[in-house]
Amino acid sequence: MKRLVARPLLAGLVVAALAVAAPLARADETCLSPYTAALVKGQEAYLHVWALGEKGLGDESDKLVTVDVDPKSKTYGKVVNTISVGGRGEAHHMGFTDDRKYLWAGRLDDSKIFVFDVGTDPSNPKLIQTIDDLPDQTGYVGPHTFYAIPGRMVIGALSNTTHDGVTGLAVYNNKGEFLSAHPIPSENGGDGYGYDIAINPKKNVILTSSFTGWNNYMRDLGQLVNDAEAMQNFGNTMVLWNLKSMQPEKIFAVPGAPLEIRWSLKEGDDWAITATALTSKLWLISRDEKNEWRAKEVGTIGDPSKIPLPVDISISADAKNLWVNTFMDGKTHLFDISDPEHPVQIYEKTTGKQVNMISQSWDGKRVYITSSLLANWDKKGADNEQVLRAYDWDGKDLHLKFEIDFFKEKLGRPHHMKFSGAVGKASP
């Protein structure tokens, strides 16, 4: 096993990245890197869904599913393409390269990474590369977050080859060649767990959050929650890194497995927000009166005593609102975060028997929701619905426009989503 730490070459590349940093722009387009080109600010044309294969269903393989989401199209709300990658390896998250031509998609079990060409024809993506050397190069497994910097992809892993969860970040170039590994701190207040990545180039910072290791995320959820010892093995920290050096600078105590991180997109703002899965809290990362970075609990999601399990969040482009999906009760919540120190829930709707990912259009008028969390964590029996639902948001209510039953269509379990525009059409 070969492991490399940060090298001067990489540091130079990151400095160059800072020099060409675009204005921070991520709003789901919500978890895109600020370096991602060609933001879809008008009507998105296609929705790419990374789906887990299901034994006994169709070809049983993990697959990239492309859905037509242009209301003016004759195939609106229909699957227009699928690409099976072979086998079931716990398909989970995806991320565009900085030029938005390629989509990297990872599997949490076998740690394979699949690279799709979505730029040539987004209605008909092509699998062009499979990367399988992450464990050998780094000692990390479970590639989760794919976050672009110019010419490079930063990958946040969930675990390690011993499966206990101490992990780190890996950097590859856009050709799929490994460059360096960066361990997440496991001492001096750190717990070593990883999950999301969020970069603010104007502040020269990276934030990472923390979840759990392979031994937990690949285990049946019912068995896991009844294992008191295993339930102690979840992340309770976030780490602030120096973007130029790719070195950790500060560790925050954020109990309860902080997951997705969203920086405010509003010009002049200097804060990010996250939700904790196990404690159902909203946490704000901002500067205090001494101009020091801090993490502060600022809100509650649902009834924490019932463990609603917040799983995904989506911030609006104007940083006034935050969508939150809670998996266990199937609810979608909307918070007013115009005062990020005091979030207020202003809307709530049951959008499924179980809900996981949520993505909104740049203008905030369309919202997409998928159902699958992890194969062994999804509900059983009649509650195990596996759907993609598309809604219009009129500022007062979510209105269902279409849904696709992934089990009925023999597609598997839908998880992460990314948008594409139409070929030859510039986003307004």
Mean pLDDT of successive 10-residue segments in the chain (428 residues)? 46 44 44 78 92 97 98 97 98 96 98 97 97 98 96 97 97 98 97 97 95 98 96 98 96 98 91 98 96 97 96 95 98 98 98 97 94 98 98 98 98 96 54
- 381 CB-contact burial (10 Å; exposed 0-12 / middle 13-18 / buried 19+): exposed
At the fourth CATH level, the homologous superfamily of domain 8-304 is YVTN repeat-like/Quinoprotein amine dehydrogenase (2.130.10.10)
Residue 141: per-residue pLDDT: 98
Residue 21: per-residue pLDDT: 42
Alpha-carbon gap, residue 389 to 383, rounded angstroms: 16
Alpha-carbon gap, residue 317 to 219, rounded angstroms: 36
> β-pairing, 310-315 with 321-326?
antiparallel
Half-sphere exposure (Cβ direction) of 36: Cα atoms closer than 13 Å: 32
Alpha-carbon gap, residue 399 to 389, rounded angstroms: 10
Alpha-helix runs per DSSP H in 163-315: 214-217, 221-225
Asked whether 399 and 391 are in contact (CB, 8 A), the reply is yes
Residue 42: per-residue pLDDT: 79
Asked whether 172 and 179 are in contact (CB, 8 A), the reply is yes
Alpha carbon distances (Å) from 127 to 130, 148, 406: 8, 19, 21
Helix (H) or strand (E) holding 276: strand 272-276
The pTM is what? 0.93
Asked whether 204 and 19 are in contact (CB, 8 A), the reply is no
Residue 266: per-residue pLDDT: 87
Cβ-count burial 207-235 (b if 16+ within 10 Å, e if not): bbbbbbbbebbbbebeebeeeeebeebbb
The tokens for 111 are 């740690």
Asked whether 354 and 371 are in contact (CB, 8 A), the reply is yes
Helix (H) or strand (E) holding 15: helix 8-19
Rounded to the nearest angstrom, the gap between the alpha carbon of residue 89 and the centroid of all alpha carbons in its chain is 17
What pairs with residue 51 in β-bridges? 63, 414
The tokens for 319 are 């940083």
Residue 29: per-residue pLDDT: 62
